[in-house]
Structure 1
Amino acid sequence: MSNFKRRDFIKTTAAAGVGATLFAPNIVKGKDDRKVRIGFIGVGGRGRSHLRNILLRDDVIVPAICDIDPEAITKAQKMIKDAKQKAEAYTEGEFAYEKMLDRDDLDGVIISTPWLWHTRMAVAAMRKGKYAGVEVSAANTIEECWDLVETYEETKVPCMILENVCYRQDVMAVLQMVREGVFGELLHYRCGYLHDLRGVKFNGESGAEFGPGSHGEARWRTAHSLHRNGDLYPTHGVGPVALMADINKGNRFVSLTSTATKARGLNDYIVKKAGEDHPNAKLKWKLGDVVTTTVTTARGETIIITHDTNLPRPYSLGFRVQGTNGLTDFDYHTRRVFIEGTSKGHGWEEAKPYLEKYDHPLWKKYGEYAKGSGHGGMDFFVAHAFVESIKRKVNPPMDAYDAAAWSAITPLSEMSIANNGEPQSFPDFTRGRWMTRKNDFALNDEF
């Protein structure tokens, strides 16, 4: 039913003309101005999740896809055929995406590839005049962060970091509470990525293999844990917090310090799965099992970010927002609020009444259509924002400056840990414009 609802949503808004600019002229001259043309670079698990949501829209055509994995291409092509569309596949080598980007019938591309390709593909897309929607994190090094910003400034072609958690329903409700002053002046945040990924990092015959011959993210993601020590995946937590704290739009990240525990979780997992004699049991993993990063902002707030993916644990993003009037801890396993003068005594209140009262207008408007789109509905909103930004020819709600600032946490945390927790300064990717830019995230009635 959810799929039909989302299709009906597109048809209804088309007929009613929701918003004066809902169907702005298409970027590609001579094409149907009610159709956005989006290509896909990477159609593995995450890429096909985006593809599924995009194919449900009657206002989008998918003319081309790119991947070097034949199985991924086959699965994606079946989805496209079932949607009564036809796409050309680009599969010849790691740089096949460059040929796809030479097409003149693409308005934008969605990039869902291994991390090391994100920046170069986004930069290539912008240079070819295509909106770049890039999965997280958007960059691996400070140089890559600058590449995103400088390419956007040079080409004026937008780049959107596809951070779906920014659209999670409880996250957006808390954003409303922040904007309406429920917590008073904000002082402190906590967030992170606390997710047992051992089963993602390893598979194969023994359950302890990675790299060539394995499948899924084990082919590429696990190597980062072997060679790098830092917060390797910060944006699910820090993206929502950055929007609440007006980062790049009235505020900015100033510095961070990071520390890491010893690395034991992956060795222990391999031994339990395959025994002490398995070759991978002898590896020395660089990534500390728990990485803790503290960020300071220009307005004097602090943000604690935790990265924890190598140990047995339930999933959590560890959100906390705290101000002069109170605070909230909110996640799937704990949703609670304390507001001075409202909450009784010094006890916590259930967050549910607050989350319902401050449910964001976008969720009130589109929540039913978002059901079944993935990750509790937030995947609908992030895809919708990307498509609508292209239609309207406007900068997306999470732009190249956000992609750079949020992603910079990874290399800066690596540098801090390598230097015994020494503070690291954030570049000002906006070159001072953070002081005058306005935070308009989710203030538009459409995205």
Structure 2
Amino acid sequence: MDHSPRRAFLRQAAVLGAAFSILSQGFLRASSSIRIGIIGCGQWGRDCLGHALRHPGVQVRALCEPDAVQRALALSSCSFSSPSLCTHWQQLVQRKDIDAVLIATPWQWHGVMALAALRAGKHVLCGPVAATTPQGHDALALASLQHGRQYITLNETDFHEDQQALQQMVKTGLFGDILQIHTGVHCAQLPGHRYALQGASSAVSMLGVDTANPFVQLSLRKETMEYITQRVGRKGQPYLVHQHGRLPVLEATTASGQSLKLQAGHMGQSPVAIGFRLQGSKGQWLESGRVLQRTEMLACHQWEAGRPYLEAHKPISSLPASALAFDHAIASLKTGGPTADALYQTLAMSRLQSFARKTLRSPDATLQLPAWIRD
């Protein structure tokens, strides 16, 4: 009796079975819920909790909040789930039933909590400030790569409708090669005292900054530029005006010679905003007036209204920017482990600011940035 057909069939069945097993496991990993714990239930923490509770791919397993009032407010929104309560954040990061830790505490705590979570084998979702020192950022990068867990920055300014439209314009090559970006306080945020840099993290990706094109130099100086500030009329009504003046600017230079200029602290009584400006080899973008200049298609450096371009490239979503940032982070967690380039981009802005705080003490100071993450 010839058993060769049977043997061939069994071999094929074994191969197919293994293949289906691998595919099934991959599908389950991609489709299974991300189990998260949240440290901090203040306003931002509760906002993140709300995004997590509505997301079909997320389970909120634990909360940590020492303040009884804030804790009660957070629990009141968990009508269809019952997350555990942890009395200390270290208990939460050590839990075996959690895949990721979302840190929504004051920024001074971010670094130590994120490092502990990564070393405990947890992914980390955190605000724009990752750590307070350059060494703290080095430790986060090393822990992320060593333990195969992602560190993701939740920066909702990158997901504002206009900012996303601008990112899409850059991707389509509308401005050519990006040479320089200015970013600071958006004029719509005035008045106020402390602001996040508008689109600062997205500027890193627009410039194509990564391990092959890192930031290599950081300088602090004053430059004469146009800015927007707030005035108060005779009847007490505030209004915005354009002015020219000298402002402190933090400039980061990439290995390929590109420039990222960040609005530094302003010592005047009235807050100012430089908005968002982008210069490419084929055109420019000025955020405060939402106008576009494309030197390749328009003669004599003429200007166009930018609103039609924003409308043509805006994302199709009704969700707020904070919800989009959260959803993007969850989607990133399901793609696998960290990569050096993604890690560099998500930590780059926070690391630059840590160098600025600790090293650049006087105007016209320049610092050569040491090598960091290597692919």
**Normalization by structure 2: what TM-score?**
0.78
What is the 5 A alignment of 1:8-407?
24-26=27-29, 34-81=32-79, 84-91=80-87, 96-193=88-185, 236-248=198-210, 250-259=212-221, 291-308=248-265, 311-313=269-271, 318-330=275-287, 333-343=288-298, 345-359=300-314, 363-364=315-316, 367-368=317-318, 370=319, 377-395=320-338, 399-407=342-350
> Which of 355, 363, 369 matches 1:412?
355
- SS of the equivalent of 2:91 reads helix
CA contact (8 A) 1:131 1:159 kept: yes
Q: Take 1:137 and 1:148, find their aligned partners in 2: how far apart are those partners?
A: 12
- Specify every segment of 5 or more residues in structure 2 that has no aligned partner in the other structure, as ranges: 1-22, 224-245
RMSD of aligned alpha carbons: 3.0
Q: Take 1:193 and 1:397, find their aligned partners in 2: how far apart are those partners?
A: 29
- SS of the equivalent of 2:182 reads strand
CA contact (8 A) 2:205 2:345 kept: no
- How much does 1:425 deviate? 2.0
Q: Take 1:122 and 1:340, find their aligned partners in 2: how far apart are those partners?
A: 45
- SS of the equivalent of 2:152 reads strand
Q: Take 1:21 and 1:291, find their aligned partners in 2: how far apart are those partners?
A: 56
- How much does 1:358 deviate? 3.0
Query: Percent identity among equivalent residues?
Result: 24
CA contact (8 A) 1:233 1:410 kept: no
- SS of the equivalent of 1:405 reads helix
Larger relative strand fraction? 2
Task: Name which one, 1 or 2, has greater alpha-carbon Rg.
Answer: 2
- How much does 1:380 deviate? 2.0
Q: Which structure is richer in relative contact order (CA contacts within 8 A, separation 6 or more)? A: 1
Q: Take 2:173 and 2:25, find their aligned partners in 1: how far apart are those partners?
A: 31
- How much does 1:317 deviate? 6.7
- How much does 1:182 deviate? 1.6
Residues 92-122 of structure 1: per-residue CA shift (max 9 Å, x gap): xxxx111112211111111111111111111
Q: Take 2:309 and 2:42, find their aligned partners in 1: how far apart are those partners?
A: 38
- SS of the equivalent of 2:78 reads helix
CA contact (8 A) 1:193 1:308 kept: no
Q: Which amino acid aligns with 1:404?
A: L
The verdict on how the C-alpha distance between 1:398 and 1:291 changes in structure 2, with shifts beyond 3 A counting, is farther
Q: Which amino acid aligns with 2:252?
A: V
- How much does 1:386 deviate? 1.9
- SS of the equivalent of 2:32 reads coil
- SS of the equivalent of 2:130 reads coil
Where does residue 6 of structure 2 map in the other structure?
none
CA contact (8 A) 1:37 1:61 kept: yes
CA contact (8 A) 2:94 2:117 kept: no
Q: Which amino acid aligns with 2:261?
A: I
- How much does 1:75 deviate? 0.7
- How much does 1:53 deviate? 1.2
The verdict on how the C-alpha distance between 1:139 and 1:197 changes in structure 2, with shifts beyond 3 A counting, is farther
Matched residue count: 328
- Specify every segment of 5 or more residues in structure 1 that has no aligned partner in the other structure, as ranges: 1-19, 28-32, 201-231, 262-288, 371-376, 434-447
1:425 and 2:347 matched: no
CA contact (8 A) 1:343 1:349 kept: no
Q: Which amino acid aligns with 2:81?
A: Q
CA contact (8 A) 1:326 1:339 kept: yes
Q: Which amino acid aligns with 1:251?
A: N
- SS of the equivalent of 2:334 reads helix
- How much does 1:146 deviate? 0.4
- SS of the equivalent of 1:380 reads helix
**Normalization by structure 1: what TM-score?**
0.66
